[in-house]
């Protein structure tokens, strides 16, 4: 006989095969497309806000989204695997240190802001990584050679500049002297 947990896991697999649900966390700004049935017609209404809580419980998973609408805070809790959810889009990924952000209920304006998480690239192919390392090594060698050549050139140009400075007076001094002569 099957356990309830096994049945729930099988149902979750069926739902995930049909619908793609992105991985999001508390603090992320998300846009949830909700199916609304009005008589015979069906339409999609978007609810955009900050995810303040997420509960991971297989088929009973749920998340709460909070937004400010006309100066009033509105929260809505959705079942993650529900048929009324058409789509979930992550607008902005937030950097938080808590799993539940209920403290945002008491805050307004700038104090209710959440810092944005910087995206990192994960999953680089090993074959690409090896070839990039080889190229990087070659580039480092080429840069070192270029630096040594530049040092040699700069040292020789410094000597040339110092020799030219001794022989010729500066152009600015010549111009000043000419201006003084014209005034007299």
CATH code for the domain of 47: 2.30.30.790
Instruction: Please report the pLDDT score of residue 88 as a whole number.
Output: 96
pLDDT at 128 over 90: no
pLDDT band at residue 2 under the 50/70/90 scheme? confident
Counting the structural domains of the chain, the total is 2
Per-residue pLDDT tens for 46-101? 999 999 999 999 899 999 999 999 999 999 999 999 999 999 999 999 999 999 99
Per-residue pLDDT tens for 97-112? 999 999 999 998 899 9
Instruction: Please report the pLDDT score of residue 180 as a whole number.
Output: 73
Is 94 found in the same domain as 60? yes
The two three-digit tokens of residue 153, written as one number: 């050139």
| 119 assigned to some structural domain | no
| 118 assigned to some structural domain | no
Query: Of 58, 79, 112, which residue constitutes the final position of a domain?
Result: 112
Sheet holding 85-92, edge to edge: 72-79, 62-69, 41-55, 29-38, 85-92
User: SS3 letters for 133-146?
Assistant: HHHHHHHHHHHHHH
pLDDT at 170 over 80: no
Instruction: Please report the pLDDT score of residue 46 as a whole number.
Output: 97
**CA–CA distance, 106 with 177 (Å, rounded to integer):** 75
The two three-digit tokens of residue 144, written as one number: 């070192």
């Amino acid at each position: 006989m099957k356990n309830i947990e096994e049945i729930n896991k099988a149902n979750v697999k069926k739902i995930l095969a049909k619908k793609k649900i992105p991985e999001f966390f508390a603090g992320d700004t998300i846009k949830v497309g909700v199916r609304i049935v009005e008589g015979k017609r069906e339409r999609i209404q978007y609810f955009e806000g900050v995810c303040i809580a997420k509960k991971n419980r297989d088929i009973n998973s749920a998340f709460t989204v909070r937004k400010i609408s006309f100066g009033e805070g509105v929260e809505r809790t959705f079942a993650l695997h529900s048929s009324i959810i058409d789509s979930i889009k992550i607008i902005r990924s937030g950097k938080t240190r808590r799993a539940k952000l209920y403290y945002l209920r008491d805050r307004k304006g700038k104090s209710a802001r959440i810092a944005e998480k910087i995206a990192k690239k994960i999953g680089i192919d090993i074959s690409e990584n090896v070839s990039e390392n080889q190229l990087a090594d070659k580039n480092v060698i080429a840069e070192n050679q270029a630096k040594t050549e530049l040092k040699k050139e700069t040292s020789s140009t410094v000597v040339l500049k110092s020799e030219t400075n001794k022989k010729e007076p500066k152009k600015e001094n010549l111009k000043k002297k000419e201006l003084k002569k014209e005034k007299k």
